[in-house]
């Protein structure tokens, strides 16, 4: 039975009507990630007031994990001990109790787990959860409550055959994507029920990462359920909106730690939907994480699922959607080109971006030194202003070709999933490369939208804090936007360069006779037509050299 356990955010915030003599509340959030469990508390102004963590490898060595996981001999199976997570939660709650944390001020809690992890309860475990003794820690009472002691997590890749069988059962990968938001992947789903003291329903956001939920009907797809296991719908229970109040916290936590018996448990979700809430995206916004791998979070109104990327139900607006796109060739690819073309210097790298023109005078490059996820391909592919494949570019041109190519691919895939730029669109940039303003300028030019930087070290935690507040407030018809209005504002980093979204048709520098934009089916017209490349020639060249790459883009 899927049980949303692996990561929690308990939220407790000061009463917005706080007056002298009135009781104050705070919002507390727990996350259980691959390597640690973490807890954060925030006050009524959404300021972090308490932090604590437990590292699995260091503080729970008896479980023998490396990086919080067990990688099996086949190098495909990756699991984590379920009791390690339970014991880590025990430890962190005891740390909080020892520090004098006032659990009675917790007004509501919510949570998020590693997306695509899975925990399997034994039959009868619900009775155990409802009859926990406050005299004993959770891990001692639940050690016989799980069907699997080592649970597959998001890193597991051992179920390729099952994924293909699921796609076959629903008449193809694209049909599965249309129903559930993505094709089948070797992934699993985590859930949480320990704070409620009972099995908890799965929310739309978490459920839409399972390849079982019909993301438009917000109910389990019978076609997908039948392809997986008998009686699965009964085990899963109904999916619920992410803002649902599931009930009060269990008496176990009230008696053992002093939680207020009126503390509400808000539906838990996955870490990716929680991050969207933590970054406070709105319709038309994009969050771009520029790390080892680059990741895009998108707020989408009308999704068009594809074979690349994932569509989830939106965690703060159940009638809309979010999309997630991952690109493996991120910062490591940028660092390789920096070393090759800028003497290993980010300063020289930035000078090269500033000294070359938007559109790179028609020179286009796509760089995949490791097998890319979106799309599945590898190699470096360069095309000059005459639409011919070339083996290299001058150093400055190479740098701009890399950065423009990376961001163009992101926009192309985003629009393929149904994303559309609107007048109020903003881009929120995070990760190491977000500190380079020249890289952010290219990002702004490609998407024709302002770029802001935000601190998101705890975005998933904060997202569940915000969601817990929203879950309590939604009964009073208070919007999520109102809930987070006191959160720190992002900082403006770049605005589009004048003319970046337009194509000169007469006398523009770099114009060539007969210039035409790429068709929308191939790429985003507004930016790529700046490259001054004829579609017929460029597509022929691309089809010959990179058909599995840009045809899919």
Distance CA 542, CA 526 (A): 20
Instruction: Using alpha carbons, select from 228, 207, 227 the residue that is nearest to residue 216.
Output: 207
Question: For 215-251, what is the HEC assignment?
Answer: CCCCEECHHHHHHHCCCHHHHHCCCECCCCEEEECCH
421 vs 286: CA distance, rounded Å: 9
DSSP H or E run through 175: helix 173-180
* Those residues with Cβ within 8 angstroms of residue 52's Cβ, 6 or more apart along the chain or in another chain: 38, 39, 92, 95, 96, 99
Q: Tell me how far apart the alpha carbons of residues 116 and 546 are, in angstroms, rounded to a whole number.
A: 32
Rounded distance between C-alpha atoms, residue 123 and residue 83, angstroms? 17
Whose CA is closest to 169, among 209, 212, 127, 208?
212
Residues in the chain, overall count: 553
Name the strands in the sheet holding 286-290, side by side, starting at the edge strand that comes first in the sequence: 310-313, 321-327, 294-300, 286-290, 427-430, 451-453, 491-494
**pLDDT at site 157:** 80
Euclidean distance between CA atoms 154 and 371, whole angstroms: 19
The Cα 434–Cα 453 span in angstroms is: 7
Give the DSSP H or E segment for 39. strand 36-42
What confidence score (pLDDT) does residue 23 get? 56
Could you tell me the pTM of the whole model? 0.77
Q: Please, which residues have CB within 8 angstroms of residue 395's CB and are 6 or more apart in sequence?
A: 340, 341, 342, 352
pLDDT in tens, the chain (553 residues): 333 333 333 333 333 343 444 456 778 787 777 788 888 888 777 878 888 999 999 999 999 999 898 999 998 898 999 999 999 999 999 999 999 999 999 888 887 776 666 888 898 999 999 999 999 999 999 999 999 999 888 778 888 888 899 999 999 999 999 999 987 765 533 556 899 999 888 899 888 888 899 999 999 999 999 999 888 898 888 999 988 999 999 999 999 999 999 999 888 887 778 888 888 888 889 999 888 888 898 998 888 888 888 899 999 988 999 999 988 899 989 999 999 999 999 999 999 999 999 999 989 898 998 888 887 788 898 988 887 889 999 999 999 999 999 999 899 889 888 888 888 999 999 888 989 999 999 999 999 999 999 876 677 778 888 888 888 888 778 888 898 888 888 999 999 998 776 532 222 333 323 222 222 333 333 333 333 333 333 333 323 333 333 333 3
* CATH T-level assignment (fold) for domain 279-454+490-507: Nucleotidyltransferase; domain 5 (3.30.420)
Cα end-to-end span (Å), the chain: 38
Per-residue model confidence (pLDDT) at position 535: 32
Task: Provide the 10 A C-beta neighbour count for residue 266.
Answer: 27
By CB neighbour count within 10 A (0-12 exposed, 13-18 middle, 19+ buried), where does 495 fall? Answer: middle
Q: Evaluate whether 441 touches 404 at the Cβ level (below 8 Å).
A: no
**Closest by alpha carbon to 522, among 544, 495, 486, 547?**
547
* Bridge partners of residue 452, in order along the sequence: 428, 492
Please state the φ and ψ torsions of residue 401, each to the nearest 5 degrees: -60, -40
Domain made up of 26-278: CATH architecture = 2-Layer Sandwich (3.30)
Establish whether domains 26-278 and 279-454+490-507 are of one fold. yes
Q: Which residue has the tokens 């290993």?
A: 344
Residue-wise over 287-304: b if at least 16 C-beta within 10 A, else e?
A: bbbbeebbbbbbbbeebe
Could you tell me the sign of the dihedral formed by the alpha carbons of 48, 50, 54, 55, in that order? positive
Alpha helices, DSSP H only, in 4-102?
56-59, 82-98
| pLDDT value, residue 82 | 93
Number of Cβ within a 10 Å radius of residue 520 = 10
Q: What angle do CA 529, 535, 540 make, to 5 degrees?
A: 140
CB 224 within 8 A of CB 200: no
**What gap in Å lies between CA 482 and CA 477, rounded to an integer?**
10
Tokens representing residue 449 in the block? 């939208």
Residue 80's closest CA among 54, 53, 118? 118
Q: Angle at Cα 397 formed by Cα 394 and Cα 398, nearest 5°?
A: 80
Residue 294 has which token pair?
A: 């680059």
Domain positions in the chain are 26-278, 279-454+490-507
Tokens of 522: 């191939």
The alpha carbons of the chain give a radius of gyration, in whole angstroms, of: 25
Whether 362 contacts 404, CB under 8 Å: no
CA-closest candidate to residue 317, choices 454, 460, 474: 474
């Amino acid at each position: 039975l899927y049980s949303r356990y692996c990561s929690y955010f308990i939220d407790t915030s000061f009463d917005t009507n706080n007056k002298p003599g009135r009781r104050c509340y705070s919002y507390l959030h727990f996350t259980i990630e691959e390597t640690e469990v973490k807890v954060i508390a925030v006050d009524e102004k959404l300021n972090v007031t308490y932090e604590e963590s437990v590292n699995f490898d260091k503080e729970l060595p008896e479980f023998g994990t490396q990086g919080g996981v067990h990688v099996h001999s086949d190098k495909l199976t990756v699991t984590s001990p379920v009791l390690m997570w339970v014991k880590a939660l025990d430890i962190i709650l005891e740390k909080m109790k020892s520090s004098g944390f006032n659990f009675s001020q917790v007004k509501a809690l919510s949570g998020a787990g590693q997306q695509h992890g899975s925990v399997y309860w034994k039959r009868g475990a619900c009775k155990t959860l409802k009859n926990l003794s406050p005299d004993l820690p959770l891990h001692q009472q639940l050690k016989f409550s799980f069907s699997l002691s080592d649970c597959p997590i998001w890193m597991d890749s051992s179920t390729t055959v099952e994924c293909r069988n699921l796609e076959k059962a629903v008449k193809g990968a694209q049909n599965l994507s249309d129903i559930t938001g993505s094709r089948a992947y070797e992934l699993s789903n985590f859930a949480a029920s320990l704070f409620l003291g009972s099995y908890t329903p799965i929310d739309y956001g978490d459920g839409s990462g399972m390849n079982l939920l019909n993301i438009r009907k917000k109910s389990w797809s019978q076609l997908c359920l039948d392809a997986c296991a008998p009686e699965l719908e009964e085990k899963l229970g109904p999916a619920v909106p992410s803002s649902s109040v599931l009930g009060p916290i269990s008496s176990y936590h009230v008696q053992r730690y002093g939680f207020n018996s009126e503390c509400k448990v808000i539906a838990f979700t996955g870490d990716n939907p929680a991050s969207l809430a933590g970054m406070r995206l709105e319709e038309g916004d994009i969050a771009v994480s520029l790390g080892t791998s680059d990741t895009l979070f998108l707020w989408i109104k009308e999704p068009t699922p594809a074979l690349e990327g994932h569509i989830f139900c939106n965690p703060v607006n159940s009638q809309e959607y979010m999309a997630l796109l991952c690109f493996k060739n991120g910062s490591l690819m940028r660092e390789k080109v920096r070393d090759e073309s800028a003497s290993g210097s980010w300063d020289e790298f930035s000078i090269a971006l500033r000294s070359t023109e938007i559109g790179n005078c028609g020179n286009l490059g796509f760089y995949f030194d490791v097998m890319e996820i979106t799309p599945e391909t590898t190699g470096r592919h360069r095309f000059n202003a005459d639409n011919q494949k070339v083996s290299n570019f001058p150093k400055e041109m190479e740098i701009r070709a890399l950065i423009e190519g990376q961001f163009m691919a992101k926009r192309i895939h985003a629009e393929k999933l149904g994303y559309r730029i609107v007048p109020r669109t903003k881009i929120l940039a995070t990760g190491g490369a977000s500190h380079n303003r020249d890289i952010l300028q290219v990002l702004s030019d490609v998407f024709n939208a302002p770029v802001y930087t935000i601190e998101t070290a705890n975005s998933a935690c904060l997202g569940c804090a915000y969601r817990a507040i929203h879950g309590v407030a939604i009964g009073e018809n208070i919007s999520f936007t109102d809930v987070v209005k006191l959160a720190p504002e992002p900082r403006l980093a770049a605005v589009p360069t004048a003319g970046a979204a337009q194509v000169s048709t007469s006398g523009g520098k770099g114009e060539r006779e007969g210039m035409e934009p790429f068709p929308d089916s191939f790429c985003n017209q507004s930016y790529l037509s700046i490259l001054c490349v004829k579609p017929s020639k460029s597509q022929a060249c691309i089809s010959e050299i990179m058909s599995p790459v840009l045809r899919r883009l």
